[in-house]
């Protein structure tokens, strides 16, 4: 099963590389991550189910993308607004996919944590950026979790 998964991933990567070479352009994104901001405390206190070392990035992600406001009318006591929904939905899709892959034994927990940490750091950096329309358009066009992960791999982070 693991070999079949690896074969499928290699095929997808080769297909993606071929289509990018056919277009003769590949988009890379460079973002600056400020470590003091990425390690700050948030009002969210959720535990990531995969690893406790992801809790800080996970809670920062939710603080950056979910705007919770109290509502005095209606059945619900609060309203949640999603900031940059294309990026938020892509991260949630990749997170679910990676957790399922770990549970099935398709990837190791260490690989999953490293991939999720990169994705969450990218998402947290993108939350602070003003001009993300190109990235949002590309990530919204990703139909599979594998393609979402490949798009996030194109992001290079510079830690300051």
Residue pLDDT, tens place only, 16-58: 333 333 333 567 888 777 764 444 455 567 788 888 888 888 9
In the chain, domain spans: 28-159
d(CA 132, CA 150): 17
Residues 50-94 have pLDDT tens digits of: 888 888 889 899 999 988 787 767 676 777 788 899 999 999 999
CA gap 34, 32 in Å, rounded: 7
How high is the pLDDT of residue 124? 92
Q: Is there a contact between 33 and 121 (Cβ–Cβ < 8 Å)?
A: yes
Predicted local distance difference test score (pLDDT) of residue 74: 65
Predicted confidence band at 123 (pLDDT cuts at 50, 70, 90)? very high
Query: Is residue 158 helix, strand or coil?
Result: strand
Asked if the model's pLDDT at residue 120 lies above 50, the reply is yes
- C-beta atoms surrounding 87 within 10 Å: 24
Q: Which helix (H) or strand (E) holds 137?
A: helix 133-140
Q: How far apart are the first and last CA of the chain?
A: 41
* CA–CA distance, 125 with 34 (Å, rounded to integer): 8
Count of Cβ atoms closer than 10 Å to residue 98 Cβ: 22
């Amino acid at each position: 099963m693991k070999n079949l998964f690896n074969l499928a991933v290699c095929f997808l990567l080769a297909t993606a590389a071929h289509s990018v070479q056919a277009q003769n352009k590949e988009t890379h994104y460079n973002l600056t991550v400020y470590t003091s901001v990425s390690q700050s405390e948030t009002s969210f206190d959720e535990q990531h189910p995969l690893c406790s070392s992801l809790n800080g990035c996970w809670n920062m992600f939710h603080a950056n993308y979910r705007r919770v406001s109290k509502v005095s009318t209606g059945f619900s006591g609060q309203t949640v607004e999603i900031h940059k929904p294309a990026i938020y939905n892509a991260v949630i899709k990749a997170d679910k996919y990676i957790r399922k892959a770990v549970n099935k034994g398709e990837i190791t927990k260490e690989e999953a944590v490293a991939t999720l940490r990169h994705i969450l750091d990218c998402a947290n950096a993108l939350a602070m950026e003003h001009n993300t329309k190109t990235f949002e358009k590309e990530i919204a066009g990703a139909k599979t979790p594998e393609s979402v992960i490949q798009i996030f791999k194109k992001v290079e982070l510079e830690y300051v």
